[in-house]
Every structure is written in C-alpha cells, then in structure tokens.
Structure 1
Amino acid sequence: MSDLAEQVAAWENDTAVDAISAAERKRVYTALYQSHLPKLDDAGIVDYNQNRGIVELSTAAEQIDPYLEMDARDDITWCKRYLALAGVGSVAVAASSFGIPPFGGLADLSLAVLVVVAFALVAIAHTVDARNAPTTGEQSPAIEGE
C-alpha cells in the first residue's frame, strides 16, 4: 500500500517517487485507504487487505483491461487537421481573389461551398474516429521499478 501511494503521488505531481513530499504521499495514502481501495475491493478489481496494507490485482481485473488500454496511435491531432484545413481554405480564397489558377476561375459561392464541404468531411471523420477510439489517446504513465 505504501509503494502504491508513493507511485500514485508521483504520477499526480508529475515527479519521481523520491521527489514527492510527505504531505503529497499522505494525501494519496489517505484517499486510497479510505475510499479508492475499499471500492475497488468491493467491485472485485483488487484484493485489498486493509489491516495488513496489502493490495493485489484480482483475476477479475483483466476484464477491465480493454477500457484501460491507451490508444497508441501517433497521428496528427484533430485540432491540427482543422487548422491546416483553415490555412488551405485561406490560401484558396486569396488565390481566388488574385485570379491565381486553379482557384481564380471559381466563383465566390463555389469556393465557399468547397471550403464548407471540406470542413464537413473532416468533422464527419473526426466524429467517426471519436466514436471508434477506445480511449482519449493519453499515454499511460510508466511504473518505476518495472
């Protein structure tokens, strides 16, 4: 239990285990002892012996692994895709204003429709991706000593 409290405190404070303060460790220890571990024990996720301070994963913990796995895709974030599309749209509008091909021959309304359709397609792809993504894409923190 003590090792677990130290590791969680280090994750929460984005620091190494040996750099956490006694207050940070105690705050996490108290929360684990009074709330989190008893609830996880009741749910069958961990086997928690409160008197001895021993915590072990139960065999049922494997059932929640798919929900805890992180999406390790290393692709472009959606905000960058929208930003790039806005940049391309701006360049297209500027090219149209100055008569630069191929946008110079497009009517303003046609160009506006083209940009709106492009944003709609990216938004649809974003929605589909978000619905199919198992997690937020955050990397899980490394456990010291592994």
Structure 2
Amino acid sequence: MEITSLPFVDEHATDIVAGTDDVWCHLGEALDGAFSRRGMAGYARLVGAVDHTASGPRPLAEGSTLPGFRVVAAAPGRELVLQGTHRFSTYALIFRLEHVGPGRSRLRAESRAAFPGPAGGFYRRLVIGTGGHVVGMRRLLSAIRRRSE
C-alpha cells in the first residue's frame, strides 16, 4: 500500500536547538534505542509484523529494519520514512527535519495507518483510542530533542 493512501492519524513536532545534521544522527540513534528495548521484537512477532528484528545499515538507510518497521526512504538531514505491516494494521511514520534558524531545527513526526476489519478496529482503539500512541510519540520526540541538545 502506498504511504500517501494510508489515512492520516496525527502529527507531532518539536523545536530543537541543534542543526539538522546533528538531529538526523540522534534521530536514528533514538529510534534504534526505542525499538531495541526488551520486548519490542517479541511484540512485533506476536502481532505478525513483517519486520521483527533490527537489521541493515546503520545509521538508518533505505532497507534498514527495526522491529515493526522498514526504512523505505532516507534523505539525511531532511526526511526518514518508516513503513510497517502486521495482521491488524499497515502504517507509516514520516520524520521531517526543517532548518528554522541558525543552530535550530524543527522535527515533525507524521503517523499514517489503516486498520482493516473488526480486529483492526479493535487494535486502533487500543493503540490510538487510549492515547498510547500520542504518549509514545511525544516521548520519542522528547528523547531526540534531549539527545540533540
């Protein structure tokens, strides 16, 4: 499924006192850290994620994987696109970096996802409806900001 055809879920942003190249490095490190935590690979297997282990080049590049995600596009300092699928959802996370001033960047994280069928609808309520997704995205962006600054 094309990423642009996936329904929009939400977008979160944070301003960071660091250049886009520095933020880019810390973005990859934070994603690796977040998705390498204990239990993430097991969860990815449990829901039937196509990609359930971390593999491929580091820093993250096209073809790299994290539990639940595959990097489908990587433009260093500008954009990182992750896509995944499992039995309840097809989804994407799109990270965009913008230069907003000397030594300042804005990092935006856009989420898109489709949740087909009754099981997908239930999974959407668990992940999106409970606010868990929002909490996770805010924590991830905060971690990237802290690492970068």
Q: Normalising by the residue count of structure 1, what TM-score does the alignment of the two structures yield?
A: 0.30
Higher normalized contact order (CA 8 Å, seq sep 6+, divided by chain length):
2
Richer in helix (by share)? 1
The structure that has the greater radius of gyration is 1
